Chains A and B, each alone.
Chain A
């Protein structure tokens, strides 16, 4: 969709470059935190942790160095909204990072850019150079004494797990991308062992609007527990795929109408690690309290074979598990083998149920979010589409 056609009440609302940073000249860190808390902004990466709380912990930490990291390792299958933000609205993301740096007391921000997005690196570097030129970055920003902040961009190397914040930090430090033990959390012991805020691109892009227009304004959109709006990356069987800004609380059916989806059988909300929602539940709402998502919406119409969909997801996780912890490394392989068994018709219901149980173990016993969420689609697709999979054309009858 063309930028000019993009409509949205919050993120795509009017904002002029540097506006949020200028606002900082007249407000204190505490006031920023107040607006942020008032807005009830939650992390847009999917986990939904309150942003103000995260910032507050780092702001309160005593440390010689602190960092703000922008998680631009947009790797969840079916999401591409961060790419749109970085390409077309870099002012929102980078102003958000400057505001974060000012608030938490970090002098250095790092963008961890997905390896496959290397082609937008130059345009981002050019934009940062312009910011430095206009003193929106660098020393004594906009003449404010002691307001020093700069941003560097680092490229990932294609591992999905590096979107997990502690694995991302490991990768930044030059180590193998593997999730850390938690606690400690990055807000205490993050990049280089220093207090660190890791925020999603979209979270940071929401911040300048909140600072300029106020938390009260932000809360007008969305639901009580999911304030503001959300960017959805819509793909699959629909007439108008693309990035949409919709307020939280939008019903799945409303979204489907908007994007021109017909004969929809299922919607995968939240990418490969999300849940698969069948037609009977299309009145559910997109919100943290109902169908939560980091933004990926994949639409499948009646012609799709849900077992193939599931197999595709499981192949993805088998390949993308970092291989560190047992439940995720071997568990995903076993789930994929299970899907293949169903495909061939060589399975027992008893074993498939055991695999579902295994999935529940993976959800609670894996070391990081990857393994904890990878069985979601296995469980939800087998549960919600059992008619099709076990009795229809998706697989032969079980024994």
Chain B
């Protein structure tokens, strides 16, 4: 049997892919069509939906999503094409010959209204008791089409039990409209393939393998399905009630750490356009809500760079000098979705994962040890919350091995969306908040930690430090303004080589006990790669398995989510390539505005190695608190 090549999603969910002509001025490059009696020309292969958009005609959509392949299943976008007996789904119809299109004929309007009425008839629940109230695409359609009653009735009882088994993702299939965006996200965008339509006819629903609860299947918790669900059928497992209770409990010392990506996106929840960083406004808001301390996750991002960078140097040293067998390339481990993906799909490679914990978990372990000691607080009374762009972080903080402080290192992972709701609930309008700084003893962190939020950011941060460690030169002398442009942008896989050359610098104080000098790196070429979205990660992993170019890399950054953390499963909805681009711009702009832009220059990092982790990076205490191990899950252990 022939293979279908790269095609992952079922063909039933992909349209004819007509390659658009490079030169639209060539003969046949443009097709003349009529939309609502207006004559226009569009490039060959444009879908009717795109053609209408280009010409300012709006067409309602539901199953369509900019990130996903086409399904053509909801039928809300149907239009009339002259000469055709049936209506055509505009999202799935490529224009290859002249046609006359009507987007608002009586037949079209009747069909759209019917489709909305039908969807509402099976959609359980009322808008005012729904967390997507005001942000629901079905609700918007109902509003747009003036639905004022349930023409075909309305379900009174939920058809399915809500699946709350997962730490990360809650599924309420009674609210599902079967647009299959989650299926396409899981199968096609992320190549995980946990969700698929099950059964048929009236019983069709989105199910998991053998209808098992989500916690028992090989879901990686990336939450990309949540970001693309038009209704409230998918949501993150929300701990805000527990957090409120902790805040209201005077015996509890409630701490929150905030990651860079939520700060770059939370403004969207308050009506700002994408790309407004709210870092310092958020600090004030969080204090007003009642958090006792607000810390910057970037501090432990900086620490991650030191620990993970040191680990890389040690691996290379063992491989090149001591000729020991070590697992290379080293993989980053900051993204818990990626970690679980690897544990399931490539368990034989878990030794390649950096043993360094993610910044969230490093911070968790430090707060209940270092900070508790300094502040003189019983760690049992500390409630540690992490504001993350991520749904998988909820799972990560619940991993049983994450108890190195003697307590649950991080108590709750909170998404950007949930945080925004807590802020609103407290009656605070975030953009109006005055600015304030992070709390000590961790204070302000570097721009290197900040750019962890974008794909390529961890690698860029690492390179900024490694270059200075090894070459003894300023990063700015090699990369203009210390911006490592080849590692930026949304290309699925990025690859870069950095020649070390013949001149190396002295070994910095921090690492002196680990390596005597850098001579063994002379003439070497550091090979690094970056992938975001597990579909791209899979490509690299398969290449490594086959012994291809990436197997020769030394260090590879993997992020489970498209765009990196800024496109995480806990970020504001909607998500589009355009929105993610703006969030990235906000993050890089903030980085460039900072004085401190390299992890090893962070004075608090230097201090913690002097005062607490006195054996230095990858030392004994470091290993105890800041490093972890992984599980060979395979395809069967959830």
Q: Do A and B come from the same complex?
A: yes
Which residues of A pack against B, CB within 8 Å?
A: 65, 159, 161, 166-167, 169-170, 173, 175-176, 178-181, 183-184, 188-189, 192-194, 317-327, 329-334, 337, 354, 357-358, 360-361, 363-367, 372
Residue from A65, A193, A323, A327 in contact with B201 in the complex, judged by beta carbons closer than 8 Å: A323
Residue from A173, A175, A184, A367 in contact with B72 in the complex, judged by beta carbons closer than 8 Å: A367
Is there an interface contact between B86 and A372, defined as CB atoms closer than 8 Å? Answer: yes
Is there an interface contact between B89 and A367, defined as CB atoms closer than 8 Å? Answer: yes
Is there an interface contact between B12 and A324, defined as CB atoms closer than 8 Å? Answer: yes
CA distance A331 to B122 in the complex (A): 11
List the A side residues contacting B74 at CB < 8 Å.
325-326
Is there an interface contact between B115 and A327, defined as CB atoms closer than 8 Å? Answer: yes
Given the contacts A176-B196, A178-B10, A192-B1, A183 and B94 also touching, CB distance less than 8 Å:
yes
List the A side residues contacting B200 at CB < 8 Å.
159, 161, 319-323
B114 → A minimal CB distance (Å)? 4
A198 → B minimal CB distance (Å)? 14
- Number of A-B residue pairs at CB separation under 8 A: 148
Q: Which 8 A-B pairs have the closest CB atoms?
A: A323-B204, A184-B16, A330-B118, A181-B92, A178-B12, A365-B111, A361-B114, A175-B10
A183 → B minimal CB distance (Å)? 5
What would 25 A/B residue contacts be, using CB atoms closer than 8 Å? A175-B11, A176-B197, A178-B10, A178-B12, A183-B16, A183-B96, A184-B15, A184-B16, A192-B1, A194-B2, A323-B199, A323-B201, A324-B12, A324-B178, A324-B204, A326-B115, A326-B118, A326-B177, A327-B115, A358-B118, A361-B115, A364-B78, A365-B75, A365-B78, A365-B115
Given the contacts A334-B152, A358-B114, A365-B75, A173 and B4 also touching, CB distance less than 8 Å:
yes
Interface residues of B in 81-115 (CB under 8 A from A): 85-87, 89, 92-94, 96, 107, 110-111, 114-115
Q: Does B119 contact A (CB under 8 A)?
A: yes
CA distance A325 to B76 in the complex (A): 10
CA distance A360 to B2 in the complex (A): 41
Is there an interface contact between B12 and A180, defined as CB atoms closer than 8 Å? Answer: yes
CA distance A317 to B200 in the complex (A): 11
Is there an interface contact between B202 and A323, defined as CB atoms closer than 8 Å? Answer: yes
Since A334-B152, A365-B111 are in contact, a sample of 15 more A-B pairs with Cβ atoms closer than 8 Å, ordered by chain A residue number, is A65-B2, A170-B11, A181-B89, A183-B94, A192-B4, A322-B200, A323-B200, A325-B73, A325-B74, A327-B75, A334-B121, A364-B85, A364-B87, A367-B72, A372-B86
A335 → B minimal CB distance (Å)? 10
Is there an interface contact between A329 and B178, defined as CB atoms closer than 8 Å? Answer: yes
List the B side residues contacting A180 at CB < 8 Å.
11-12
Chain A residue, CB-CB nearest to B120: A330
CA distance A329 to B202 in the complex (A): 6
Q: Does B7 contact A (CB under 8 A)?
A: yes
Which residues of B pack against A, CB within 8 Å?
A: 1-2, 4-5, 7, 10-12, 14-16, 70, 72-76, 78, 85-87, 89, 92-94, 96, 107, 110-111, 114-115, 118-119, 121-122, 151-153, 177-178, 196-197, 199-204
Is there an interface contact between A330 and B119, defined as CB atoms closer than 8 Å? Answer: yes
Is there an interface contact between B178 and A323, defined as CB atoms closer than 8 Å? Answer: yes
Chain A residue, CB-CB nearest to B205: A323
CA distance A167 to B1 in the complex (A): 18
List the B side residues contacting A354 at CB < 8 Å.
151
CA distance A91 to B350 in the complex (A): 59
CA distance A206 to B5 in the complex (A): 37
Is there an interface contact between B110 and A330, defined as CB atoms closer than 8 Å? Answer: no
Chain B residue, CB-CB nearest to A183: B16
CA distance A327 to B78 in the complex (A): 12
Residue from B12, B153, B177 in contact with A181 in the complex, judged by beta carbons closer than 8 Å: B12
Is there an interface contact between A319 and B201, defined as CB atoms closer than 8 Å? Answer: yes
List the B side residues contacting A173 at CB < 8 Å.
4, 11
List the A side residues contacting B1 at CB < 8 Å.
192
Chain B residue, CB-CB nearest to A170: B12
Greatest chain A CB density within 10 A among B12, B153, B196, B199 is at B12
Greatest chain B CB density within 10 A among A65, A184, A326, A361 is at A326
Is there an interface contact between A321 and B110, defined as CB atoms closer than 8 Å? Answer: no
Residue from B75, B93, B107 in contact with A325 in the complex, judged by beta carbons closer than 8 Å: B75
B254 → A minimal CB distance (Å)? 46
Is there an interface contact between A181 and B202, defined as CB atoms closer than 8 Å? Answer: no
List the A side residues contacting B199 at CB < 8 Å.
323
List the B side residues contacting A364 at CB < 8 Å.
78, 85-87, 107, 111
